């Protein structure tokens, strides 16, 4: 009812027939429904942008008026009536467009993007109650509606999924699809890495690949699924590998561990600690670039093959590299956001 009255008031305003009380009513209505202001502004902007029609030649106009034989008052009424009709038609058309615009806006709200840069990590909660930790240099798009919950991930994220049996929770990351209900798991899928990983800490997930959706792999807590990347130049054979991420002793104690296990290298980043095990220096360099927001350049090919294990938390990039120098010999030049290793 209110929206119909809005159409009437805007039509009167555009046609120039809106009186003072009508202007006050329109202002009050827009104040009560601020979401309609954009539609009203769009209508007025479009109306003002339409050029005035050119007046016909004097002879033609005289002939038209002679046939009509109107009085001056009638002429004014005819002009006003046509202006009102034009405004009403425009209002009707643009209100319909406004509805579709609102529908599009609603769909856009369903599809939301969150992204991080190198050196940046974010922690947030989705509208369904799911908690998300997004690692550096990652892009996450989510669609949450009454029927489903879908996530598209490029990078790394840790999910603590809110239970909702009526709405599946699915993460699409590279060629992997992870289907979960009320669970906690980590997904790592950077295009430049040699492999993609899914690590389950709590609950259960089913993982399947785009090309073989019928072949579902079910993970148990403290298991990791890894698959070779299709884009990385040094990609291993593209096959699914499943392995435990902790010892049997640790698994026996899993019930007493918090959901986010900071002792695991796969999820230590969620607790603001970069942990790595037996990584070549060129692989570690990518982690350091994301973690510290720097660019690392190697000037010595031999140094790339050094293997490191360790962890960093509050250390600066200079302190981290100095710690690595304690186990292997190399030199580096720190140029703010650019590190040269030789």
Q: pLDDT of 149-167, one tens digit each?
A: 999 999 999 999 999 989 9
For residue 340, being part of any structural domain is answered with yes
Angstrom distances, CA of residue 109 to CA of 79, 112, 145, 150, 246: 44, 6, 10, 14, 40
Q: Are residues 242 and 133 in the same domain?
A: yes
Q: Is the per-residue pLDDT at 51 higher than 80?
A: no
For residue 321, being part of any structural domain is answered with yes
* pLDDT digits 0-9 by tens, 234-245: 444 456 788 777
Q: Are residues 6 and 98 in the same domain?
A: yes
Task: Out of 233, 259, 285, pick the residue that ends a domain.
Answer: 259
Q: 35-44, 194-203, 229-238, 323-332: which has the minimum mean pLDDT? A: 229-238
Q: For position 63, what pLDDT does the model report?
A: 58
For residue 267, being part of any structural domain is answered with no
Q: Are residues 212 and 329 in the same domain?
A: no
Domain span at residue 101 reads: 2-110
For residue 81, being part of any structural domain is answered with yes
For residue 268, being part of any structural domain is answered with no
For residue 239, being part of any structural domain is answered with yes
Task: Give dist(CA 200, CA 209) in Å, integer.
Answer: 17
State both tokens at 125.
């909660």
* pLDDT digits 0-9 by tens, 166-206: 999 999 998 899 999 779 999 999 998 988 999 999 999 99
Q: Are residues 102 and 120 in the same domain?
A: no
Q: What mean pLDDT do residues 75-98 have?
A: 52
Angstrom distances, CA of residue 117 to CA of 17, 142, 155: 54, 18, 11
Angstrom distances, CA of residue 78 to CA of 22, 103, 124: 22, 37, 60
For residue 175, being part of any structural domain is answered with yes
Q: Is the per-residue pLDDT at 12 higher than 70?
A: yes
User: Between 342 and 91, whose confidence is greater?
Assistant: 342
Task: Out of 259, 294, 326, pick the residue that ends a domain.
Answer: 259
Q: How many domains does the chain have?
A: 3
Q: What's the pLDDT band for 342 if we cut at 50, 70, 90? A: very high
Q: For position 18, what pLDDT does the model report?
A: 81
User: Between 309 and 57, whose confidence is greater?
Assistant: 309
pTM of structure: 0.64
Task: Provide the strand spans (E) within 87-148.
Answer: 111-115, 122-125, 131-134, 139-144
In degrees and rounded to multiples of 5, residue 149 shows phi and psi of -135, 110
Q: Are residues 74 and 157 in the same domain?
A: no
For residue 264, being part of any structural domain is answered with no
Q: Are residues 132 and 202 in the same domain?
A: yes
Q: Are residues 305 and 251 in the same domain?
A: no
Q: Are residues 200 and 286 in the same domain?
A: no
Q: Are residues 125 and 253 in the same domain?
A: yes
Q: Are residues 137 and 86 in the same domain?
A: no
Task: Give dist(CA 339, CA 318) in Å, integer.
Answer: 9
Residue 64: its H or E element = helix 58-68
Q: What's the pLDDT band for 10 if we cut at 50, 70, 90? A: confident
Q: Are residues 125 and 210 in the same domain?
A: yes
Indicate which CATH number applies to the domain containing 253: 2.60.120.1440
Task: Out of 259, 284, 299, pick the residue that ends a domain.
Answer: 259
Distance of CA 98 to the CA centre of its chain: 25
Indicate which CATH number applies to the domain containing 315: 3.55.50.30
Q: Are residues 162 and 66 in the same domain?
A: no
């Amino acid at each position: 009812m209110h929206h119909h009255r809005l159409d009437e008031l805007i039509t009167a305003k555009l046609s120039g027939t809106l009186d003072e009380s009508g202007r006050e009513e329109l202002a009050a209505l827009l104040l009560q429904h601020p979401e309609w202001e954009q539609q009203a502004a769009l209508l007025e902007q479009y109306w003002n942008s339409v050029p005035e029609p050119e007046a016909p030649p004097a002879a033609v106009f005289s002939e038209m008026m002679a046939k009509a034989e109107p009085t001056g008052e009638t002429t004014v009424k005819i002009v006003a009536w046509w202006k009102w009709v034009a405004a009403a038609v425009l209002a009707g058309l643009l209100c319909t467009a406004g509805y579709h615009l609102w529908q599009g806006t609603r769909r856009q709200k369903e599809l939301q993007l969150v992204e991080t840069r190198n050196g940046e990590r974010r922690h947030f909660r989705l509208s369904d109650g799911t908690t998300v930790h997004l690692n550096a240099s990652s892009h996450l798009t989510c669609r949450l509606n009454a029927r489903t919950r879908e996530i598209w991930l490029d990078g790394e994220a840790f999910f603590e999924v809110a239970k909702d049996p009526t709405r599946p929770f699915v993460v699409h990351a590279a060629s992997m699809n992870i289907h979960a209900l009320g669970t906690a798991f980590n997904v790592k899928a950077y295009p430049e890495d040699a492999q993609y990983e899914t690590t389950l800490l709590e609950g259960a997930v089913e993982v399947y690949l785009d090309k073989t959706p019928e072949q579902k792999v079910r993970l148990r807590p403290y298991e990791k699924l890894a698959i070779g990347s299709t884009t990385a130049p040094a990609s291993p054979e593209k096959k699914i590998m499943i392995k435990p991420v902790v010892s049997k002793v640790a698994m026996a104690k899993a019930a007493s561990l918090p959901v986010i296990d900071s002792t695991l290298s796969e999820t230590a980043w969620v607790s603001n600690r970069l942990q790595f095990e037996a990584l070549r220096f060129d692989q570690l360099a990518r982690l350091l670039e994301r973690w510290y927001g720097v660019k690392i350049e190697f000037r010595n090919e031999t140094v790339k093959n050094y293997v490191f294990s360790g962890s960093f938390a509050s250390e600066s990039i200079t302190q981290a590299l100095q710690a690595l120098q304690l186990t292997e010999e190399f030199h580096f030049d720190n140029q703010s956001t650019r590190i040269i290793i030789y």
